[in-house]
Amino acid sequence: MRNGYQKPADAGSANTTVATPVAAATRRRELGVFLRSRRERITPHSLGLPVAARRRAPGLLREEVAQLAGIGVTWYTWLEQGRNIRASAQVLEAVARTLRLDRDERAHLFALAGAPASPTVADYAVDEPTRRVLDAVLPLPACVQNAKYDLLAYNPAYARLIGDLAALPETERNSVWLAFTDPAWRAALPDWDVVTARMVARLRATMASHLDDESWQSFIRRLVAASPEFARLWERHDVTEAATEHKPIRHERLGLLRFDVATSWLAPRSELRMVVFTPADARTAALIPALVANPG
């Protein structure tokens, strides 16, 4: 059984988040109120639990939440009471599942607990209206990425901009991974050194919010092992934020295309962004319809 207990912040735990005692206490109180409100809305009957005839509470008891989540009753009680304890991400996930929290509630739980929330499948799902936007901007190449540069959705023009994305395994459909490991991507980027340095610096800046996320850690380890050039840039610890950029791409059939890249964030906290390549000169504007009309 997991007890989920870690040392309080004032007992020497390594915590990079700096908060005043008043702010931390307020957040812990809010966490307790939030947990109680979610607990009280779930009936034991909905979870198949036996209901005593003289049960006073309509929702779940603390003991029932602790048992279903596989954590200690005392620890969960302290959490609701706003005690100065720190919950691990594993235990918060168990509590979120037990209380049937949706995506937004789960993110709120992690924020109140002062813990970075690892992404769920829903966080990386691209909804149908967004996919329709990708098709609506054709023939402009466009895609949806997350903060880790995973290519989550894209239209046919983007799929044919460099190589053939559809032919790649899903685990390799990542802009950083392809830029460092795929010869076709390297050949398609005339300013490869500049582009990759900028991508790594952005990845390093965003990594600060995902230090406890194993999916990020394993991705970085995989890149370091696959590319000495990535490893060298990663060790420089350069950081930068996303900005509008100019990107030339050498297409295997159409030659050099020049784009201005516009980025739009899709929703707060989701870290999903839509990236649209708009032609930067008349030649590119005249050629990009061929990406869709003639796949080659």
**Residue at which a domain ends, from 85, 112, 139:** 112
Q: Which of 161-170, 185-194, 231-240 has the lowest mean pLDDT?
A: 161-170
| For the chain, percent of residues with pLDDT exceeding 70 | 85
- Does residue 83 or residue 275 have the better pLDDT? 275
CATH number at residue 63: 1.10.260.40
DSSP classification of residue 150: B
Contact 147, 124 (CB under 8 A): no
| Domain presence at residue 167 | yes
d(CA 14, CA 66): 26
What pLDDT digit, counting tens, does each position of 66-106 carry?
A: 988 889 999 899 988 888 888 888 888 889 888 988 877 88
pLDDT at position 16 is 38
Q: β-pairing, 151-154 with 273-279?
A: unpaired
pLDDT at position 8 is 36
The verdict on pTM exceeding 0.75 is no
> Is pLDDT of 2 > 50?
no
Residue type present at position 21:
P
What pLDDT digit, counting tens, does each position of 135-146 carry?
A: 999 999 999 999
Q: In degrees rounded to 5, what are phi and psi of residue 85?
A: -125, 160
Please indicate, yes or no, whether residues 26 and 144 belong to a single structural domain of this protein. Answer: no
DSSP classification of residue 174: B
d(CA 108, CA 233): 34
Please indicate, yes or no, whether residues 142 and 263 belong to a single structural domain of this protein. Answer: yes
> Is pLDDT of 52 > 60?
yes
| Domain presence at residue 135 | yes
| Domain presence at residue 117 | no
Please indicate, yes or no, whether residues 262 and 186 belong to a single structural domain of this protein. Answer: yes
What pLDDT digit, counting tens, does each position of 193-213 carry?
A: 999 999 999 999 998 888 877
